[in-house]
A and B are shown apart, each in its own frame.
Chain A
Amino acid sequence: MHSFINIIKEHIEYRHQILKLAKADIVKTYRGAALGWSWAVIKPAVTIFVYWFTFEIGIRGGGNKIIDDFPFFLWLICGLMPWFYMNDMLTQGTDSIRKYSYLVTKMKFPVSTIPTFVSISKLMVHAILMVIMIVIFIAMGYPPTIYILQLPFYMLLNFLFFTIFSLFASLLSAISKDFSNLVKSMITAIFWLSGIVWNINTMDEKLIWIKKLLMVNPVTYLIEGYRNCFIHQVWFFEQPKRLMYFAIILIAMLIFSVWIYRKLRKEIPDVLN
C-alpha cells in the first residue's frame, strides 16, 4: 500500500515532466523520417488494408460481409484501431524503462512514471486514430450514434489497463531480456485469440464455454467495448458481468504491478546501464 501511495505521489509531483516527456516521445517517434507524421497514419492504413484484403477478398466467405448491418470494413477497423495502441504498449511499453535507461541511471527520476509517459504518448496517437475512424464512419454513411459518448470511457479503460501492464512489464524487462522476448512472442497469440479480426459473437454455439472464456479476456473486453460504441450500440452498463471481470483482472494486475515495483525499484538502477 505504501508503494502504491508512493507511485501516485510521484505521478502528481512529476506531472509536468510526464507531459513534457510524453510530448518528446511522440516527436521522437515520428521525426527524422522524410514523411514524418504521416507514418502515424500510413502504418495502420497498410495493416488495415492487409486484413481487409485477406478476409473480404482472400478468404471468401470467411468474413461475413455485413456484420450487424455494418460493412465488414467498418467492423474490422473498430478492432484494429484500438489494437494499434495495444500493440505499441505490448512492445514499447514493455521496453520503456530499457529505452529510457538514462532517466534511471543518470539522474534522479521516478521510475514508475516512465511507462506512464510512454503510454500517454501512444494514447495521443490513438486519439488521433479515433478521430480518423469517426470520419471514416461518417464518410461511409454511418454517422455516430449516442453510443459514441462512451468512447472516452473505453479509451480510459484501455489506457489504464495497458499503463498498469507496462509498469510491471517494463520493470521485469529491465531486469531480464527474457521477459521482454516472452511478451513479444505472445503478441501474435493475443492478437488472434482476442477476436480482433474475427467475430467472437458468431462462434459455434457448441463452443459456448470457449466463447465465455474469451469474453473474460481483457483485450476482448476492450475491443468489444469499442465495437459497442460504433457497431453493437450497447451501453457498458448493460454488460455488468463483463465489466466486473475486467475490473477484477485490472485490480489484480495493479496489485501485482505494485508488488513488483516494491521488489525491484531499488534494484533497477543497479542492473541498467
Chain B
Amino acid sequence: MKKETVIKFDKVTKTYKLFKNDKKRLLSVFLKKMKCKTKKAVNNVSFEIKRGEAVAIFGKNGAGKSTILKIITGVCFPTEGKVDINGRVSALLELTSGFDPEFTGRENIYLKGQLLGIKNKEIKELESTIIDFAELEEYIDQPVRTYSSGMKARLGFSINVNIRPEIFIVDEALSVGDEEFKNKCIKKVNEIISNENVTLLFVTHATAVAKEFCKRGLLMKEGRLIFDGDIDEAIEKYESTYKKK
C-alpha cells in the first residue's frame, strides 16, 4: 500500500522582517516604503514526509529548524511556497509555555483539549492518564503559575503525548526532568510511533537519541536543506560540519 503524504513543503521560504524598533514596524503597516532588513530563516526548502515516517531534523542553532516546526504546527506562515499538512498535529515546542498561568493544571488540560477541538468526554477519559503521567499529584489543582519549570514541562509533555496525535513533533523536549522521567518519555514516544499511522518529527542535537527513533534525517544549514536521506549519513554530515569549525 502506498502511504499518503502528511507533510509537504514546496519551495518554502520564510523571511523575517527586522525593523530598527517597534515604531518603525508600526509605521510600516501604513507606509509602503518603510525600510527594514530581512532575514531568511528558511530558504527554498522542499520535502515530503509520508504517514508513519520518523524523521529527525538536525542543524545548528539558527539553521531554521524551529521555524520549520512552527510552520508545520500552523503557528507561523511561510512567506513564499506552499505547505500541506494532513492530520492532528501535536507539538512539543517549548513545553513550559502555552498554559494559562491563572488556571490550575487540571483546567489547563481541559482548555488545551478544547482548543484542539477535542470533545469534553474524550478529555475526561484522558484526564487521569495525563495527570498520572505528569506525576503532579496534588499540584494538579494549583494554578500553573505556582509550578516549577520542570512541572510545567512534565504537564506539557503529558498532555501532548496523550491526546493521540497523528503528527507528533518533538523539539528538544526529551530533556524534561530527571533520568527516570526522561526514560519514561522515551518509552512513551516509542510507544506512540510504534503505531504506524503516527508520523514523528524530531528536532535535536542529541544524535544518539535521534538514531533510536528515526530512519531518515534532514540536515539544515543557514535556512537551506542540505541533506535529506538515511539517518546515519545525516548524522555523519552533521557531525562533520561541527568538526570543521
Chain A residues near B (Cβ < 8 Å): 16-17, 20-21, 24, 28, 31-32, 102-109, 172, 175-179, 260, 263-267, 269-271
Contact = CB atoms under 8 A, between A and B. Distances in A.
A177 B103 contact: no
A28 B145 CA distance: 13
B70 A269 contact: yes
A42 B173 CA distance: 46
Contact of B114 (A17, A108, A265, A266): A17
A266 B22 contact: no
24 contacts: A16-B114, A17-B114, A17-B115, A20-B111, A21-B115, A24-B103, A24-B107, A28-B102, A31-B102, A102-B97, A103-B115, A106-B93, A106-B94, A107-B91, A172-B26, A175-B22, A176-B22, A176-B26, A260-B29, A265-B77, A269-B76, A269-B77, A270-B17, A271-B25
A266 B89 CA distance: 19
A179 B112 CA distance: 30
A24 B89 CA distance: 24
B75 A104 contact: yes
Interface of B: 16-17, 22-23, 25-26, 29, 70, 73-77, 79, 89, 91, 93-94, 97-100, 102-103, 107, 111-112, 114-117, 143
Contacts of A31: 102
Contact of A178 (B26, B114, B143): B26
A266 B75 CA distance: 9
Given A108-B75, A177-B22, A270 B94 contact: no
A22 to B, nearest CB: 12
Contacts of A20: 111, 114
B75 A178 contact: no
A32 B114 CA distance: 23
B103 A270 contact: no
Contacts of A269: 70, 75-77
A80 to B, nearest CB: 28
Of residues B29, B70, B79, which shows the largest number of chain A Cβ atoms within 10 Å of its Cβ? B29
B153 to A, nearest CB: 13
Given A106-B98, A269-B75, A172 B111 contact: no
Given A17-B115, A107-B98, A176-B25, 15 more contacts: A16-B114, A21-B115, A32-B143, A104-B75, A105-B75, A106-B98, A107-B91, A108-B73, A175-B22, A176-B22, A176-B23, A177-B22, A263-B29, A269-B76, A271-B25
Contacts of B116: 107
Contacts of B117: 17
A105 B97 CA distance: 10
Contacts of B107: 24
Contacts of A264: 29
B23 A109 contact: no
Contacts of A102: 97-100
A215 B111 CA distance: 43
Contacts of B115: 17, 21, 103, 107, 109
Nearest to A29: B102
A32 B145 CA distance: 12
Given A103-B115, A106-B93, A178 B23 contact: yes
Nearest to A20: B114
Given A28-B103, A102-B98, A266-B77, A108 B29 contact: no
Contact of A28 (B16, B100, B114): B100
Contacts of B103: 24, 28
Contacts of A270: 16-17, 76
A175 B93 contact: no
A28 B116 CA distance: 20
- What 8 pairs across the A-B complex have the smallest Cβ distances? A108-B74, A106-B98, A176-B26, A176-B22, A266-B77, A28-B102, A20-B114, A269-B76
